[in-house]
Amino acid sequence: MIGYTGRPMRAAHYQLLATAQRAASDGASAVAARRGRLHLTHGTVETPAFMPVGTAGTVKSLSPVDLQDAGAQMVLANTYHLWVRPGHEIIQRLGGLHRFMDWEGPILTDSGGYQVFSLKDMRKVSEQGVRFRSPLDGEWRMLTPEVAVEIQEALGVDVAMAFDECIEWPADRDRVIASTERTTRWLRRCLEARQKSDRTALFGIVQGGFHQDLRIAHAQELAGMDLDGYAIGGLSVGEPREELFTTVAYTAPHLPADKVRYLMGVGYPHDLVDGVLAGVDLFDCVLPTRSARFGSAFTSAGRITIKHGRYRDDPRPLDESCACYTCARFSRAYLRHLFTSNEILAPRLLTLHNVTFYQRLMGRLRAAVEEGPDALLRLRSLAVGWMRPLGQDGPPTDSEP
């Protein structure tokens, strides 16, 4: 256990509270899990933690009160989208992103790198940065490491992500080497551009493609820079799931033990468990909100696709073990009626449930780390079961999500 003696001078301080470790053996997964606290300007986050994604300053369909009720501690917003609309200067004049969206807890912003690199034919990459044409307003813009830091500090967020180069998968080794080296140069420019390092932390992003030696070398290089936190990036870009978590497992041990570790853009419930087993502390993903908008709910008995006819007259809640507002008040039949009638309340209620499900899972993961490796591996078995469609053979038997 690491003691904590007061508010740190830097904008982020990670406090390690407990670990659960076990080497892989007899087909059992290795365990290198951590339980901690991340102290930030706008509050403390118990880790492992999952950040709901509020790209444009809102988690789709949910209010800040909904998020609090669901148990969310920290949310993610996107630099690129807020820069284009309504503009970071407007948000700054109105008191910053926290006041703008009425969220009192910590906020992390993605640097916008993933979004501009996904534009493909509408962008041009150079050493200076990325020139791109925004599909939102048709304007040509130049996003550089300096601009990314300027925007995020103007928003007043707790954690800013360094601007990195996101590349396609698969990519050949020479391409990965050149991209990773550029990411490091851009990180140094981000560090030099900071004006509010006492209030907005800066996390670096480990790249290196799916080449183990390149990943480890980049992790070690960034670890030597004493950053506020570290993200594992460049994953969940189409690669097989096994390759993703193999990469996380050999990368995480080379990051500083006294700094928070963030796995970007992952994932399903069993992905979160595997990330925690590998030593990751922080996660984000659009899955719980996007799935809800398509009528899919995660439950402790398996996944529900609410439009199915079997729920037409089903009086039960989505999840009989869940106490969220949706499950406490509405039946599957009513939710199906809303969804098939294209009522806006349907995605809202499903989103509220899914976000609550994810937050309850993270609470259970925190408790399991404190209990030990066996508890974590039992939870992993359950999480795999939660991915099955409801009613399929072999449903999970534990009623707690």
CB 354, CB 299: distance < 8 Å: no
d(CA 53, CA 74): 10
Alpha-carbon torsion angle 316, 319, 322, 324, nearest 10: -70
pLDDT digits (tens, 9 = 90+) for 112-166: 888 887 887 889 999 999 999 988 888 999 999 999 999 999 999 999 999 999 8
- Chain CA centroid to CA 334, Å: 31
d(CA 152, CA 78): 9
Residue 29 reports pLDDT greater than 90? no
Strand partners, 304: 297
d(CA 163, CA 204): 8
Which of 362, 357, 291 is closest to 318 using CA atoms? 357
Strand partners, 136: none
Least-confidence region, from 79-93, 240-254, 255-269, 381-395 = 381-395
Residue 5 reports pLDDT greater than 60? no
**Is 110 known to be catalytic?**
yes
CB 350, CB 343: distance < 8 Å: no
Sheet of 260-263: strand order equals: 49-52, 282-285, 260-263, 229-232, 201-206, 159-161, 107-110, 75-78
Diameter of the chain by CA atoms? Answer: 61
Which of 156, 159, 164 is closest to 222 using CA atoms? 164
Question: What integer is the mean pLDDT of 211-226?
Answer: 98
Which residues, 6 or more positions from 195, have their beta carbon under 8 angstroms from its beta carbon?
149, 153
Catalytic, out of 158, 274, 284, 319: 284
Residue located via tokens 């939660």: 386
Domains of the chain: residue spans and CATH: 13-284 (3.20.20.105), 292-386 (no CATH)
Which of 367, 370, 394, 373 is closest to 382 using CA atoms? 394
Q: What's the chain's average pLDDT? A: 94
pLDDT-derived band at 401, boundaries 50, 70, 90: low
pLDDT-derived band at 250, boundaries 50, 70, 90: very high
pLDDT for the residue 395: 46
Catalytic, out of 66, 110, 158, 164: 110
Question: What integer is the mean pLDDT of 172-201?
Answer: 98
Residue 399 reports pLDDT greater than 60? no
- Chain CA centroid to CA 221, Å: 23
| Percent of the chain whose predicted confidence (pLDDT) is above 90 | 88
* 3-state helix/strand/coil string of 354-386: HHHHHHHHHHHHHHHHHHCHHHHHHHHHHHHHH
pLDDT for the residue 11: 98
pLDDT for the residue 400: 58
CB 282, CB 263: distance < 8 Å: yes
Residue 266 is given by DSSP the state B
pLDDT-derived band at 391, boundaries 50, 70, 90: confident
Question: What integer is the mean pLDDT of 220-247?
Answer: 96
Q: What's the angle, vertex CA 286, arms to CA 280 and CA 288, rounded to 5?
A: 90
Strand partners, 110: 78
pLDDT-derived band at 225, boundaries 50, 70, 90: very high
Neighbours of 89 (CB within 10 A): 11
User: Exposure string (b/e) for 7-30, b if CB count within 10 Å is 16 or more?
Assistant: eeeebbbbbbbebbebeeeeeebe
pLDDT digits (tens, 9 = 90+) for 89-119: 999 999 999 999 999 999 999 998 888 878 8
pLDDT digits (tens, 9 = 90+) for 300-312: 999 999 999 999 9
| Percent of the chain whose predicted confidence (pLDDT) is above 70 | 96
Cβ burial of 383 (10 Å; 0-12, 13-18, 19+) is: buried
CB 281, CB 12: distance < 8 Å: no
Structure tokens at 174: 């020479």
Sheet of 43-47: strand order equals: 13-22, 31-40, 43-47
pLDDT for the residue 257: 98
pLDDT digits (tens, 9 = 90+) for 252-295: 999 999 999 999 999 999 999 999 999 999 999 999 999 999 99
**Strand pairing report for 13-22 and 31-40:** antiparallel
Least-confidence region, from 20-29, 122-131, 274-283, 385-394 = 385-394
Residue 195 reports pLDDT greater than 90? yes
pLDDT digits (tens, 9 = 90+) for 50-64: 999 999 999 999 999
> Amino acid identity of 338?
L
